[in-house]
A and B are shown apart, each in its own frame.
Chain A
């Protein structure tokens, strides 16, 4: 057995996420890190562009959740125009956001995560994907493909195309919605609802099946952050921010997203292109917080649609008394409850006559030199912050991205799994499986802040106290 294995260039492939595990003198795990490896520079190169083109431009940050960037950017534009938008425009933007949740959550569960659950964590990696799933359980896979298609279809009907539509703009949206389009979507509903419920049934079976493994999947204390509506309900488009601790106490509430910089900071480190956001009152790194489905389900007091609310109550029972659900594995369950909510809420909106209004865009000049937009993207709260000159030319851009806010938590998850399972200078295949699944709970969209794929190639390096590479495993 060789003691040092060097990383060969062949395996330094795109979207490469790397994990390093650092041992102390005694050979015990001292630290573990999740490295993200791509940088694109939007925060700089958007300077000099017009505020009007920012929604179309920033949707190119991410092909998985472009509609979330589009809407958030348009909201930052509304803020710069200093105007309200027409009721119809807001409702249509809400529909777009819900459709984005449906397609993204369906992708996360059916295309990316369920092969692990249905084929098994130990299944042949060559089969552990959506095509393998098609061969294993065609009906289930096709249902997943069609649910994602439904979400994408709603986006296409609203915005004219599925990916990178320029439809939402500062002041509203470009085009109205028609009754024919609505009717076509409603006709699809029985199947859509059935598939969303099937996903929940499936994850509950997974909970039973993996009851012994789940407690070690990123089970730790942290804060949780997200938006809630005026009555504390689950919110996805516009609301104020709430922060909860792991014991379930609300430690900050009703924060206007425009004030995000007072409470949320970002740290940078030499070893990752992904920054490390933290809750400022607790500092770095103590102010670790999680965003996204698990956080939103923890912080909200209710869900306004009946089936999802019923599930939320079951979700709450996963934690003792009023505590937050701290186990990252339950991101999956929370995500599917949100998918069900999005399906129900979208149906509600499709029956709202206000969506057929023809006034969909308010027009105004540049009335503020700074604008902030925020929205709940599938993976958590997303902020766009623009500074412009009096002509609307971008001077400076800041974006606080959903997945980045889970960066510390993803690192903590990796460390927890490593400490639990690594004993000595060798990494077993089983540990690799556990680490990968631990990261996948977060459904990280590294494309957003940097870039990488849903189903990431992983490399685990085991480093000795002197920095020597003792062992390396790749997938």
Chain B
């Protein structure tokens, strides 16, 4: 058990995005077996989640910061992680998640919940239960310090594997040209 404790503690988190980056992570396929031997996955939407734990070595963050709960989460992640990686284009640039930025929130909400609803008892506005949208969805590094950026919508499994391997050896991944692409 003692070597379990010494395994690097890796987390993945999901803010405003489509989960495609996490699916690309699962596209590591059989490499997941190797990963399970090398690291301890301490927090992830694909695992049973409690609170974001302390003393995480590496956190991959998918998605843009799009509401108040994402903001709180991003700060917690930064405080509790040694390395924070923007995981994919939404975290890196805002990407598709930020396409809403050219419209006001009221306009967006009214379209979805009033104009396109056959019956509107209320728009979702009960913030005892629901997160409040930010006026603009922003890339992660606009809010917190980020140590490296994984490009792609989503990043390829090879790119994810390269990044994790480098980080596990204590190096910030430097992406070669074949990984420098958006979309």
In the complex the two chains form, is B112's CB within 8 Å of A41's CB? yes
In the complex the two chains form, is A62's CB within 8 Å of B126's CB? no
Q: Is A40 an interface residue (CB 8 A)?
A: yes
B: contact size bracket: 35 or more
A269-B30 contact in complex given A14-B14, A60-B20, C-beta closer than 8 Å? no
In the complex the two chains form, is B29's CB within 8 Å of A145's CB? yes
Contacts of A61 in B (CB 8 A): 18
Question: Quick one: closest A residue to B102, CB to CB?
Answer: A45
In the complex the two chains form, is A268's CB within 8 Å of B124's CB? yes
Contacts of B48 in A (CB 8 A): 115, 125-126, 128-129, 455, 475
Interface residues of B in 120-176 (CB under 8 A from A): 120-126, 129-131, 133, 153-154, 156
Contacts of B119 in A (CB 8 A): 265-268, 284
CB within 8 A of B19: which of A64, A273, A474? A64
Question: Quick one: closest A residue to B33, CB to CB?
Answer: A134
CB within 8 A of B123: which of A38, A128, A268? A268
A266-B117 contact in complex given A63-B22, A164-B20, A272-B124, C-beta closer than 8 Å? yes
In the complex the two chains form, is B18's CB within 8 Å of A39's CB? no
Interface residues of B in 16-34 (CB under 8 A from A): 16-24, 26-27, 29-30, 32-33
Contacts of A128 in B (CB 8 A): 47-48
Q: How far is B36's CA from A205's CA once the two chains are assembled, in angstroms?
A: 27
Q: Is B15 an interface residue (CB 8 A)?
A: yes
Contacts of A455 in B (CB 8 A): 45-49
Interface residues of B in 46-79 (CB under 8 A from A): 46-52, 63, 66-67, 69-70, 72-73, 76
A41-B22 contact in complex given A265-B119, A271-B126, C-beta closer than 8 Å? no
A44-B49 contact in complex given A164-B20, A265-B119, C-beta closer than 8 Å? no
Which of A23-31, A146-154, A357-365 binds B?
A: A146-154
Determine how close the nearest CB of chain A comes to the CB of B62; give it in whole angstroms: 9
In the complex the two chains form, is B45's CB within 8 Å of A15's CB? yes
In the complex the two chains form, is B129's CB within 8 Å of A271's CB? yes
Contacts of B51 in A (CB 8 A): 10-11, 13, 474
Contacts of B121 in A (CB 8 A): 267-270
Question: Quick one: closest A residue to B116, CB to CB?
Answer: A398
Which of A305-313, A343-351, A446-454 binds B?
A: A446-454
Q: Is A314 an interface residue (CB 8 A)?
A: no
Q: Is A318 an interface residue (CB 8 A)?
A: no
Contacts of B95 in A (CB 8 A): 60
Q: Is B114 an interface residue (CB 8 A)?
A: yes
Q: How far is B99's CA from A43's CA once the two chains are assembled, in angstroms?
A: 11
In the complex the two chains form, is A135's CB within 8 Å of B97's CB? no
Q: Is B82 an interface residue (CB 8 A)?
A: no
Q: How far is B16's CA from A164's CA once the two chains are assembled, in angstroms?
A: 17
Contacts of B85 in A (CB 8 A): none
Most chain A beta-carbon neighbours within 10 Å: one of B109, B123, B129: B129
Q: Is B108 an interface residue (CB 8 A)?
A: yes
Interface residues of A in 156-178 (CB under 8 A from B): 161-164
Contacts of B99 in A (CB 8 A): 41, 45
In the complex the two chains form, is B46's CB within 8 Å of A273's CB? no
Q: Is B107 an interface residue (CB 8 A)?
A: yes
In the complex the two chains form, is B112's CB within 8 Å of A134's CB? no
Determine how close the nearest CB of chain A comes to the CB of B66; give it in whole angstroms: 7
Q: Pull 10 A–B residue pairs with CB atoms less than 8 Å apart, ordered by A.
A: A10-B52, A20-B129, A40-B16, A57-B96, A60-B20, A130-B47, A131-B41, A142-B30, A265-B117, A267-B118
